[in-house]
Amino acid sequence: MSISSSLLKIWLLLASVFFLAASYGNDDPMLNSLIGEALKNSPEIQASSARIEAARQRIPQAGSLPDPQFSFGYQNESFDRYTYGEMSGSQWMFSVSQQFYFPGKRALKEEMIRLDAESLAAMHELLKLKTVARIKELYYDLFLAYKNIDLISGKQKLFVRIEEMTLARYSAGKAMQQDVLMAQTEKYMLLEKEEMLKQKILSLEAMLRAAVGRDRGQLERPNEPLYEPFPLEIEAAVDLALKNSPEIRSRSKMIEAADTRLKMAQKEYFPDFTIGGGYYNRSGDFKDMWAATVTFNIPLYFYSKQRPATLEARANISQAKQDIEAVKLMIVAALRDNYSMLRSSEKLMVIYKNGLIPKNSQDIEQALTGYSTGKTEAVTIISRVKILIDYESSYWSQFVERQKAIARLHAITEGLTAGDVKK
């Protein structure tokens, strides 16, 4: 068997590995396991859950009345002696009072806190969506690093063959020593790239462990992602995102809370009141007494207190409305960016798979045949092999970029799936 035939078979073996991803689907047990672990163990998600629970516990506090007050004391009619039972004004005094808010204020206070809690709950869902997308992106990047090492390993074997070929021709006096040195140099440069990729794998694994909430432990090599379709057109994706976005839902709750705060500020123009009752204990010939009181606060300084509070609440409503419009614009921009990246990657993958890679493989075969007959220089073979492997690496890079874009699009448009929330 000739050297050129052996090289061609090696390339065909590599090519069969490169293009196995031809079926549709998105079910990856390892990836789903990592996502479930992240949703369960991520400190950031757990902190968000605790924040929501704390907000919910503030709801009954906001609607509660102020604590009642109890007071007691003694009144004496003289400074030089104790006159209890001797003088009518000498008495022991006991009183109880309770403040009540103007009708409607307690309900508004509860409503404000409840809407704040619902806003936090929506942001919690957004955090989970971002966590899922982050896990997927790191997972795909880790897969790509391993795949590039596989490509380099195949390339190393190819350059070993080229080195043997140049040595054979050099020994026969048909090639220059420079051909051998070029082949050997390329082989060592690949070793350098391989070590750099191994370091990148360690870094990606550390980031992935942190994202899932681990501080240690070994991660298995990622499975090869299945080619996942994204059937939506951009306008349909935009409509779905604006409908399902937890961030928009959170901002909507903020607007409702701001409206409620405005109503509360307007209620502050009306006075609260305190109801009190007292008992006065006397002795001797003097009868005990009682008293009932109602106390109102007077919003006398409304121009410097209630009125600015109302204007502040209106400004907050305006801010909340502008914020939600800004969020919508950012969501649409992110959608269009990721959608264009998705479609661009698909087009590039077709170019690499159906055009550049097959054409360059034919060039390599012709170059090997030409070198064996002395019609082609070694530098031509080496450069074409480098170009071929670069195209193969670019194909997988675009494949991963496409998968990452889909992960971000799903996070924006569809929310959590059953596989994502599996625990």
Taking the whole predicted model, whether its pTM rises above 0.85 is answered as: no
Task: Please check whether residue 76 lies inside any domain of the structure.
Answer: no
pLDDT in tens, the chain (423 residues): 444 444 444 343 333 333 323 323 357 888 888 999 899 988 999 999 999 999 999 999 999 999 999 999 999 998 999 988 888 889 999 999 999 999 999 999 999 999 999 999 999 999 999 999 999 999 999 999 999 888 887 777 666 666 666 666 666 665 566 666 666 677 777 778 888 999 999 999 999 999 988 877 788 888 888 887 888 888 988 988 888 889 999 999 999 999 999 999 999 999 999 999 999 999 888 899 999 999 999 988 888 988 999 999 999 999 999 999 999 999 999 999 999 999 999 899 888 888 887 777 776 666 666 666 566 666 666 777 777 778 888 899 999 999 999 999 888 886 543 333 333
Q: Which domain holds residue 231?
A: 3-65+101-268+305-413
**What is the Rg, in whole angstroms, of the alpha carbon atoms belonging to the chain?**
38
| Predicted pLDDT of residue 217 | 75
Task: Please check whether residue 166 lies inside any domain of the structure.
Answer: yes
**Angstrom distance (rounded) from CA 201 to CA 143:** 9
- What single string gives the DSSP state of each residue in 357-395? HHHHHHHHHHHHHHHHTTSS-HHHHHHHHHHHHHHHHHH
**Angstrom distance (rounded) from CA 254 to CA 156:** 59
| Predicted pLDDT of residue 184 | 67
**Angstrom distance (rounded) from CA 311 to CA 318:** 11
- What single string gives the DSSP state of each residue in 74-112? EE-S-SSS--TTTSTT-EEEEEEEEEEPPTTHHHHHHHH
**Angstrom distance (rounded) from CA 157 to CA 187:** 9
Task: Please check whether residue 208 lies inside any domain of the structure.
Answer: yes
Q: Give me the phi and psi of 184, to 5 degrees please.
A: -70, -40
Q: Where are the alpha helices (DSSP H) in 172-245?
A: 177-212, 234-244
Domain CATH for 54:
1.20.1600.10
Tell me the residue type at 318.
Answer: S
- Which residue in this structure is represented by tokens 């992935």? 208
**Angstrom distance (rounded) from CA 282 to CA 94:** 12
Task: Please check whether residue 141 lies inside any domain of the structure.
Answer: yes
Which helix (H) or strand (E) covers residue 293, if one does? strand 289-296
| Predicted pLDDT of residue 333 | 93
Instruction: Give the total number of structural domains in the chain.
Output: 1
Q: Mind listing the pLDDT tens digit for each residue in 44-97?
A: 999 999 999 999 999 999 999 999 999 999 999 989 999 888 888 899 999 999
**Angstrom distance (rounded) from CA 23 to CA 392:** 19
Task: Please check whether residue 300 lies inside any domain of the structure.
Answer: no
Of 131, 411, 407, 40, give the one whose Cα is nearest residue 246.
Answer: 411
Beta-bridge partner residues of 277: 96, 292
| Predicted pLDDT of residue 116 | 94
| Predicted pLDDT of residue 419 | 38
- Coil, helix or strand for 158? helix
**Angstrom distance (rounded) from CA 148 to CA 376:** 29
- Coil, helix or strand for 69? strand
| Predicted pLDDT of residue 162 | 67
Q: Mind listing the pLDDT tens digit for each residue in 337-346?
A: 999 999 999 8
Token pair for residue 284?
């001797």
Dihedral angle computed from the Cα positions of residues 78, 81, 84 and 85, in that order, rounded to the nearest 10 degrees = -100
Contacts of 89 (CB under 8 A, 6+ apart): 75, 77
Of 178, 179, 157, 155, give the one whose Cα is nearest residue 166.
Answer: 179
Contacts of 102 (CB under 8 A, 6+ apart): 267, 270, 271, 272, 273
| Predicted pLDDT of residue 86 | 86
Task: Please check whether residue 295 lies inside any domain of the structure.
Answer: no
Of 335, 348, 333, give the one whose Cα is nearest residue 400.
Answer: 348
| Predicted pLDDT of residue 7 | 42
Contacts of 11 (CB under 8 A, 6+ apart): 158, 361, 364, 388
